[in-house]
């Protein structure tokens, strides 16, 4: 027989240990003790217990994460090895509304203390997981960063060469127009030529706007040409830009989580004001 009694406000479960053939009492803390923790205590007390489970009266298994406070509200079955015990917890007297409110406040305070005491272990475990994730992401990013640096150097060199070629062509055009104007022909002949060259340049700039939906601004045009060379080189070198960006986002997210985790507790958790009740 398994009995449940209350001593000093705490439930005491008395049961027979199968190997030692003696009755043993287990005092549980219903607010923080789970069914799984209670069953582990029973198995630690008697090493001969190979199976310890709790079932509801309808035959459904009770989860190990269920609090003992919830379990002791109704009848249940305790199975030890191959023996099933029907347990009927005593009905607790109904508390007055004021006393019930005080008990709820005490339970809430005990729960917050329990969380605070185990917060450091959780923080250390979470920090270790984040550090391992950071090392893994940095290991994957290292070869991609090296490949990206080479591709960027190549794209930047080609863009610079293109700018210098443009300057050389403009200088050549200006010199040719000046030579034709003062040494070969007169300004009356070259004026229509320069007009159509200017009009053609305006058409080229407008075509650039139609194709790119952007004004022809030299820094923007340079960046656009740089990206063109970069993606073309990346495709040739089989550099996965999407995977690189995904790894960079994951790395930034992990670093931000680690930074928040290492902040002082009062900066991460909202301040809970506890007022004394009369």
Contact 80, 18 (CB under 8 A): yes
Question: pLDDT tens digits, residue range 35-73?
Answer: 888 888 888 888 888 888 899 888 888 888 888 888 888
CA distances from 227 to 148, 154, 157, 194, 218 (A): 12, 11, 12, 33, 14
pTM: 0.45
Contacts of 55 (CB under 8 A, 6+ apart): 61, 62, 76, 77, 79, 84
Which candidate, 100, 75, 89, places its Cα nearest to that of 28?
89
If you average pLDDT over residues 189-195, what whole number do you get? 84
Question: pLDDT tens digits, residue range 239-256?
Answer: 888 888 888 888 888 888
CATH number for the segment(s) 3-87? 3.10.20.90
The domain locations on the chain are: 3-87, 119-267
Contact 155, 224 (CB under 8 A): no
Structure tokens at 160: 């610079």
């Amino acid at each position: 027989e398994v009995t449940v009694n209350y001593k000093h406000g705490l439930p005491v479960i008395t049961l027979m240990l199968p190997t030692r053939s003696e009755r043993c009492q287990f005092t549980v803390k219903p607010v923080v003790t789970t069914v799984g923790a209670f069953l582990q205590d029973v198995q630690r007390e008697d090493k001969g217990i190979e199976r310890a489970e709790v079932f509801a009266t309808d035959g459904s298994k009770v989860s190990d994460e269920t609090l003992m406070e919830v379990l002791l509200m109704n009848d249940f079955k305790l199975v030890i090895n191959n023996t099933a015990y029907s347990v009927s917890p005593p009905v607790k007297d109904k508390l007055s509304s004021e006393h019930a409110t005080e008990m709820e406040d005490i339970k809430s305070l005990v729960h917050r203390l329990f969380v605070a005491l185990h917060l450091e272990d959780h923080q250390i475990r979470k920090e270790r997981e984040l550090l391992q994730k950071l090392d893994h992401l940095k290991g994957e990013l290292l070869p991609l960063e090296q490949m990206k640096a080479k591709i960027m150097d190549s794209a930047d060199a080609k863009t610079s060469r293109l700018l210098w070629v443009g300057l050389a062509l403009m200088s050549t055009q200006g010199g040719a127009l000046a030579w034709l104007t003062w040494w070969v022909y007169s300004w009356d002949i070259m004026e229509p030529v320069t007009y159509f060259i200017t009009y053609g340049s305006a058409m080229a700039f407008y075509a650039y706007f139609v194709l790119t939906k952007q004004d022809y601004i030299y820094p923007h045009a340079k960046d656009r040409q740089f990206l063109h060379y970069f993606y073309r080189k990346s495709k040739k070198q089989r550099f996965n830009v999407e995977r690189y960006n995904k790894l960079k986002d994951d790395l930034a997210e992990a670093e931000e989580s680690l930074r928040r985790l290492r902040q002082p507790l009062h900066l991460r958790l909202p301040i809970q004001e506890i007022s004394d009740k009369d």
